[in-house]
């Protein structure tokens, strides 16, 4: 079984493409009637879906994995725990799941990249959802200690009221592109022509 | 023509697969040899290696179809499947389209076999290839479309269904194909949580022309009710173009679901739970329990969304009370999740324990949004052109003209009549 497309994706750090590559390759291999499950990189496949935030595919993949594998491969189970926490919106649990396992060199890069992405996304969520939020919660949602979380927030322009331990959120400025190019004029002409006929 | 031996048929195939004329000639010879091939199906297995599926596609197809119609031959598990996969991969689309029914028959035997062996995943890529070769264009619906989606559902490879499902269909040969295709399409979209797309698919099933009620439409209507509730909190009325058969009969065959929709409208969690308990077995046996549970959890969201219509700011405690949640913290987490999913525009102020509701901040002036509107207009223009040409086509169709000719009131012979007399 030639797994090089997947191995290359992992090695080159193009983590966002892993899931699609795995999906397609699995279908191709299955169509040839090969009993692929024994050697299939389920952990990488699962983490690929988690990285792409495609929890539906992660769930379906998990359901299709034979029970025996789930019992004999602790890394696979640990990867699924991350997916479970994401699915049940156990925001802090995700960090515990990431840190609670000694990842093999094969997937360590992927897990680290996911972890950084996730922290960023959580911070963005907090910025858009809260006007004021307690330090303890920020630490909880970012998987950091209260001091680390406070520093992180302050670096991004938030302000701290030390007496009440409340952070005030600074909304990021949204830069929206508004340049139009001349081809738009062509399009508008087409629309008017169409409407008049 | 006398009964040909298999050897003779194979020799014809090898000799007459060069040009289009040869293949046409071969086609008529093959049609005359069909009975001979069928009666000798068991022997055919030995002859496949003498043919090249990419060059001798049509001949290979006739042999393969005769072979796969024979129940004994079908029992040769592994080789049988692999030889069909090989054929589908290498066959010539042009030659396939000369005998589409045979190709479909082979593919259906293939699909039946993978289902029987419980390896639906094995059939996905081959059927996908088969559809692309069989279709005259990506706008044409074939019988194989619904088989493909069924395999994707059974193998839980829902995303694989999208490559076919996302094509816009304009041509349908068999109405039954459309019913199944849209029904399975709805199920795939439900699995992927693309509820709006699922709604569209199911909507197509229940509004399709129907003279008698069919089981697919009934099942589709059950899911349609559930998806409608999840999407918008209520079930829309039947549009005008729904068949009277559907309008008169669908509700009476899906009473538990209609009851559930009515219960949902009251907004009380405990009442809804009660309603679900009453009909639990029915939902389970229809395999709709998962969807019903999603209806239940959507009630929280619905209640919170309703608040945004009345209030600008509200305390977390009040939200908890209104949505029947136990604590303000639970309410906070629900609101946070809805913000994350883009279902609500709000800001939480933890210091004061308040939530402020906002308008959608989208201004529709960014480049990205303009691109989006642009491509939508383009699609609409293309659709409009297509409808225009369909309309023109139909107004020239003899069957149509005969029909309106007959239904026109007869006046004087001299009366100007735009329908030529030969159609009256």
- Average confidence (pLDDT) over B133-156: 93
B345, closest residue in chain A (CA to CA): A129
Mutate to test the interface with B, among A23, A29, A31 (most CBs of B within 10 A): A31
- Average confidence (pLDDT) over A128-146: 92
What pLDDT does B416 receive? 56
Cα-Cα-Cα-Cα dihedral sign, residues B269, B188, B225, B376:
positive
* Cα dist from B210 to A170, B169, B240, B339, B347, whole Å: 58, 19, 14, 42, 49
* Cα dist from B302 to A107, B240, B266, B277, whole Å: 40, 28, 11, 21
Partner residue opposite A129 with nearest CB, options B124, B347, B351: B347
DSSP state of A156: T
Kindly give the residue spans of alpha helices, DSSP state H, lying in chain A.
4-11, 18-31, 42-51, 55-64, 67-72, 74-87, 91-99, 105-129, 135-142, 146-155, 183-196
Name the average pLDDT for chain A: 89
For A54-110, the pLDDT digits (tens) are 999 999 999 989 898 888 899 999 999 999 999 999 999 999 999 999 999 989 999
Lowest-confidence region among A92-96, A114-118, A182-186: A182-186
Inter-chain residue contact A27 with B350, CB threshold 8 Å: no
Chain B, residues 188-217, CB within 8 A of chain A, namely 191-193
For A15-65, the pLDDT digits (tens) are 999 999 999 999 999 998 888 888 899 999 999 999 999 999 999 999 989
Name the average pLDDT for chain B: 88
Contacts of B349 in chain A (CB under 8 A): 130-132
Q: What's the CA gap between B302 and B281, in Å, rounded?
A: 26
B379 part of contact set with chain A, CB < 8 Å: no
Inter-chain residue contact A176 with B366, CB threshold 8 Å: yes
Contacts of A129 in chain B (CB under 8 A): 335-336, 339-340, 346-348
A125, closest residue in chain B (CA to CA): B340
Partner residue opposite A56 with nearest CB, options B192, B356, B381: B192
pLDDT > 60? residue B424: no
The more confident residue out of B325 and B419 is B325
Through-space distance between the first and last CA atoms of chain A, rounded to whole angstroms: 58
Residues from A contacting B (CB-CB < 8 Å) are: 23, 26-28, 30-33, 54, 56-57, 60, 63-64, 89, 125, 128-134, 137, 164, 166, 176-180, 184, 187, 190-191, 194
What pLDDT does B2 receive? 46
Q: Mind telling me how many Å the CA of A99 is from chain B's nearest CA?
A: 24
- Pick from A161-165, B93-97, B213-217 the range whose average pLDDT is largest: B213-217
Strands A130-134 vs B346-349: parallel, antiparallel or unpaired: parallel
What pLDDT does B1 receive? 41
Lowest-confidence region among B19-23, B88-92, B259-263, B329-333: B19-23
pLDDT > 70? residue A178: no
Inter-chain residue contact A33 with B381, CB threshold 8 Å: no
Spatial neighbors of A58 by CB under 8 A, at least 6 apart, are A46, A49, A50, A80, A83, A87
Inter-chain residue contact B381 with A190, CB threshold 8 Å: yes
B189, closest residue in chain A (CA to CA): A56
**Burial of residue A96, with CB atoms counted within 10 A of its CB: 0-12 exposed, 13-18 middle, 19 or more buried:** middle
Cα three-residue angle B347-B352-B355, rounded to 5 degrees: 25
Q: What's the CA gap between A108 and A47, in Å, rounded?
A: 11
- Average confidence (pLDDT) over B3-22: 80
Inter-chain residue contact A177 with B123, CB threshold 8 Å: no
Contacts of B82 in chain A (CB under 8 A): 32-33
Short-list A65, A16, A28, A62, CA closest to B160: A28
Partner residue opposite A89 with nearest CB, options B81, B337, B356: B337
Cα of B104 vs its chain's centroid, Å: 18
What pLDDT does B420 receive? 64
For B231-273, the pLDDT digits (tens) are 999 999 999 999 999 999 999 999 999 999 999 988 788 899 9
Inter-chain residue contact B336 with A137, CB threshold 8 Å: no
The more confident residue out of B300 and B207 is B207
- Average confidence (pLDDT) over B399-420: 67
Q: What's the CA gap between B351 and B362, in Å, rounded?
A: 27
What pLDDT does B34 receive? 85
Q: Mind telling me how many Å the CA of A177 is from chain B's nearest CA?
A: 6
Number of H helices, E strands in chain B: 24, 5
| pTM (predicted TM-score) | 0.88
Q: Mind telling me how many Å the CA of B104 is from chain A's nearest CA?
A: 18
A122, closest residue in chain B (CA to CA): B340
pLDDT > 70? residue B409: no
- How confident is residue A192, by pLDDT bands cut at 50, 70 and 90? confident
Lowest-confidence region among B36-45, B145-154, B222-231: B36-45
B350 part of contact set with chain A, CB < 8 Å: yes
- How confident is residue B300, by pLDDT bands cut at 50, 70 and 90? confident
pLDDT > 60? residue B412: no
What pLDDT does A35 receive? 85
- How confident is residue B151, by pLDDT bands cut at 50, 70 and 90? very high
Inter-chain residue contact B351 with A132, CB threshold 8 Å: yes
Mutate to test the interface with A, among B82, B85, B89, B340 (most CBs of A within 10 A): B340
DSSP state of B324: T
For B85-117, the pLDDT digits (tens) are 999 999 989 888 888 999 999 999 999 999 998
pLDDT > 80? residue A135: yes
Structure tokens at B219: 């099942």
What pLDDT does B71 receive? 79
């Amino acid at each position: 079984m030639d797994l090089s497309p997947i191995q290359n994706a992992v090695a080159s750090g193009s983590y966002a493409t892993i899931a699609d590559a795995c999906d397609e390759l699995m279908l191709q291999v299955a169509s040839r009637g090969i009993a692929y499950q024994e050697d299939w990189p389920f952990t990488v496949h699962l983490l690929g879906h988690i990285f792409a935030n495609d929890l539906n595919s992660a769930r379906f993949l998990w359901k299709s994995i034979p029970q025996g594998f789930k019992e004999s491969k602790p890394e696979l189970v640990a990867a699924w725990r991350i997916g479970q926490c994401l699915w049940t919106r156990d925001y802090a649990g995700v960090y515990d799941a990431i840190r609670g396992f000694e990842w093999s060199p094969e997937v360590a890069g992927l897990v680290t990249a996911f972890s950084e992405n996730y922290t960023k996304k959580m911070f963005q969520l907090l910025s858009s959802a809260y006007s004021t939020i307690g330090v303890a919660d920020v630490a909880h949602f970012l998987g950091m200690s209260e001091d680390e979380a406070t520093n992180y927030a302050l670096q991004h322009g938030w302000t701290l009221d030390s007496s009440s331990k409340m952070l005030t959120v600074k909304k990021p400025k949204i830069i929206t592109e508004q340049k139009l190019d001349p081809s738009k004029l062509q399009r508008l002409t087409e629309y008017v022509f169409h409407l008049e006929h | 023509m006398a009964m040909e031996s298999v050897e003779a048929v194979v020799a014809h195939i090898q000799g007459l697969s060069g040009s289009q004329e040869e293949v046409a000639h071969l086609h008529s010879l093959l049609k005359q040899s069909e009975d001979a091939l069928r009666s000798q199906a068991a022997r055919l297995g030995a002859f496949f290696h003498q043919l090249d599926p990419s060059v001798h596609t049509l001949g290979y197809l006739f042999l393969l179809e005769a072979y796969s119609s024979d129940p004994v031959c079908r029992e040769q598990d592994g080789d049988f499947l692999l030889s069909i996969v090989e054929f589908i991969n290498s066959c010539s689309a042009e030659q396939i389209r000369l005998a589409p029914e045979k190709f479909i028959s082979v593919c259906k035997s293939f699909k039946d076999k993978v289902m029987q062996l419980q390896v639906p995943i094995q059939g996905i890529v081959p059927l996908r290839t088969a559809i692309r070769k069989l279709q005259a264009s990506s706008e044409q619906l074939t019988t194989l479309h619904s088989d493909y989606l069924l395999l994707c559902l059974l193998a839980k490879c829902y995303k694989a269904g999208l490559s076919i499902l996302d094509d816009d269909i304009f041509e349908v040969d068999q109405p039954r194909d459309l019913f199944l295709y849209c029904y399975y399409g709805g199920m795939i979209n439900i699995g992927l949580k693309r509820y709006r797309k699922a709604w569209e698919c199911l909507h197509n099933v229940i509004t399709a022309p129907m003279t008698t009620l069919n089981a697919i439409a009934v099942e589709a209507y059950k899911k349609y009710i559930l998806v409608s509730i999840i999407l918008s909190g209520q079930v829309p009325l039947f549009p005008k173009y729904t068949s009277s058969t559907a309008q008169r009969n669908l509700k009476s065959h899906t009473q538990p679901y209609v009851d559930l929709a009515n219960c949902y409208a009251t907004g009380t969690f405990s009442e809804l739970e009660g309603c679900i308990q009453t009909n639990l077995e029915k939902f389970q046996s229809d395999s709709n329990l998962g969807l019903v549970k999603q209806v239940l959890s959507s009630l929280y969201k619905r209640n919170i969304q309703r608040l945004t219509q009345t209030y600008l700011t509200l305390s977390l405690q009040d939200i908890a009370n209104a949505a029947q949640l136990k604590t303000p913290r639970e309410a906070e987490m629900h609101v946070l999740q809805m913000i994350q999913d883009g279902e609500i525009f709000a800001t939480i102020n933890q210091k004061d324990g308040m939530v402020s509701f906002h308008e959608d901040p989208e201004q529709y002036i960014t480049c990205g949004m303009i691109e989006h509107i642009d491509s939508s207009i383009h699609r609409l223009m293309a659709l409009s052109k297509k409808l225009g040409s369909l309309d023109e086509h139909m107004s020239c169709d003899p069957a149509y003209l005969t029909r309106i000719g007959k239904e026109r009131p007869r006046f004087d012979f001299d009366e100007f009549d735009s329908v030529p007399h030969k159609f009256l």
